[in-house]
Structure 1
């Protein structure tokens, strides 16, 4: 039953990286998620949403209920998505500034994050970005995001063997399998929320 429902329902996922570098490992996770969804996860369509054009949050930029064009376009992408995939690097034990800025713009009334399923993946040193994930989950509570709880995906990008190539593309097959499990869990959570 679950498989037939998934086959009929297209889940549109907005994927956001907290790192703006083209060769960042977190953007590499998103590129890999897009490839995996096209090849092996039926019913999931992932679109990378670039947050680099967003100005720093400043409510003086809001005029008569409208936002700057880049913000309007970003908010529309989030509004149209069924669920969200965050790739969140860890900066100083927390969420990267570009990601927090994007989150705050899309939370301006009306909050376009509300009632969406979400998942977080991260790559970095040490804990693999885990602390940023915990902070993002806290922010998500206020935003009414519904994060999957399992599987968790933290990837130590610097521990041998190599997980990424020099362009930031994920090359580790075991990590790709784990990433696929995250996408399947996100698909399942999204379908459950849509049936409510």
Structure 2
């Protein structure tokens, strides 16, 4: 009998939005990423994780090695993911407070981010969030995340024509193609990391 080729593993991606406002363009990017992965990228499953319920980091809330229930649930989802997809606007040249708070909670010992692949999307004004990417990458060094280097994704949401429809849904075909490129790179890099660990 011919040997049956082993199926490639499904890469489970946890997607976090740094903006907690209802009409967030960055959350729209995540929803578009989920759609693209389902339609075009075999072996990738993206799950959006809402960080808005997390309390502000306070180690007084840690009791006998346990965290508040909402934090425990969040940490478990990060731990079970193979890769991370961040989508966040730029605030004051950096990442948002809610995103930093989420990163800090999941970095509390034992660190849930360690050795995972990651990618960054940003929809913002000005440079489209470019400066915030580098702060996030610096944080990633300490928490042991491995970011893809290329392609980078910065989207100026105020530069016409609008890339989103009246409901906030991403409709620009060129932007969608760039988003797909990021997802393909994240998928490939995640598989490379997994293969390295199996050697």
Q: TM-score, normalised by structure 2?
A: 0.94
The C-alpha deviation readout for 1:47-85, integer Å capped at 9, x for no partner, is 000001100000000000000001000000000000000
Task: Show the counterpart of 1:131.
Answer: 131
Q: RMSD value over aligned CA atoms? A: 1.1
Task: Show the counterpart of 1:108.
Answer: 108
The C-alpha deviation readout for 1:104-147, integer Å capped at 9, x for no partner, is 00000000000000000000111001111110000000010000
Runs (4+) of structure 1 exceeding 6 A deviation are none
Task: Show the counterpart of 1:194.
Answer: 194
- Where does structure 1 lack aligned partners over 5 or more consecutive residues? none
Matched, 1:185 2:191: no
Matches within 5 A, 1:56-95: 56-95=56-95
Shift of 1:165: 1.9
Task: Show the counterpart of 1:153.
Answer: 153
Matches within 5 A, 1:11-90: 11-90=11-90
- Partners of 2:164 and 2:21 lie apart in 1 by 14
Shift of 1:164: 1.2
Shift of 1:167: 2.7
- Partners of 1:165 and 1:103 lie apart in 2 by 31
Q: Is the 8 A contact 1:23 1:169 kept in 2?
A: no
SS in 2 for 1:52: coil
Shift of 1:30: 0.2
- Partners of 1:43 and 1:133 lie apart in 2 by 26
- Where does structure 2 lack aligned partners over 5 or more consecutive residues? none
The C-alpha deviation readout for 1:85-108, integer Å capped at 9, x for no partner, is 000210111110000000000000
- Partners of 2:109 and 2:117 lie apart in 1 by 19
- Partners of 2:125 and 2:168 lie apart in 1 by 14
- Partners of 1:101 and 1:131 lie apart in 2 by 19
